[in-house]
Amino acid sequence: MAAKFPQKAMAYFLLAPTILICLLFLYYPTGRTVSLTFYKVAFFGLKKIYVGSDNFKELFTSADYLQSVLVSFIFTGASIVLSMTISLVLAILLNQKVRGIGIYVIAIIWPYTLSFAVAGTIWSYLFNPAVGMINYLLESLFRIKPDWISIGPLALIMIIVTTTWKSLGYNVIFFLAALQHIPRELLEAANVDGANDLQRFWKIILPLLTPTIFFLLVMNSIHCFFTSYGMISIMTEGGPAGATNIMVYKLVHDGFNMFKTGYASAQSLILFVIVVAFTLIQFRVAGRRVHYGGA
pLDDT in tens, 201-232: 888 888 888 888 988 998 899 889 888 888 99
Domain boundaries, the chain: 46-289
CATH architecture of the region 46-289? Orthogonal Bundle (1.10)
Question: Binning pLDDT at 50, 70 and 90, where does residue 44 land?
Answer: low
Return d(Cα 295, Cα 290) in angstroms, integer. Answer: 13
Residue 286: pLDDT over 70 = no
Question: Binning pLDDT at 50, 70 and 90, where does residue 295 land?
Answer: very low
Return d(Cα 202, Cα 98) in angstroms, integer. Answer: 24
Residue 85: pLDDT over 90 = yes
Among 227, 111, 102, smallest CA distance to 169 is for 111
**Mean of the per-residue pLDDT values of the chain:** 87
Section 246-250 average pLDDT: 93
Residue 291: pLDDT over 70 = no
Report H helices in the chain.
8-22, 28-36, 54-60, 63-94, 101-109, 116-126, 133-142, 152-180, 184-192, 197-200, 206-226, 229-235, 247-252, 261-285
The pLDDT of residue 90 is 92
Phi-psi region of 144 (alpha: psi -120 to 50; beta: other; left: phi over 0): beta
Tens of pLDDT, residue by residue over 116-125, are: 889 999 999 9
Section 236-246 average pLDDT: 91
Bond from prior residue into 240 cis (ω within 30 degrees of 0): yes
The pLDDT of residue 210 is 86
Section 283-289 average pLDDT: 67
Residue 47: pLDDT over 90 = no
The pLDDT of residue 52 is 87
Section 97-112 average pLDDT: 82
pTM of the model: 0.87
Phi-psi region of 151 (alpha: psi -120 to 50; beta: other; left: phi over 0): beta
The pLDDT of residue 199 is 83
Question: Binning pLDDT at 50, 70 and 90, where does residue 191 land?
Answer: confident
Among 128, 240, 112, 236, smallest CA distance to 164 is for 112
Section 263-282 average pLDDT: 88
Residue 74: pLDDT over 50 = yes
| CA distances to 86, 87, 109 from 93, in Å | 11, 10, 14
Section 130-140 average pLDDT: 92
The pLDDT of residue 94 is 87
Length of the chain: 295
The pLDDT of residue 266 is 93
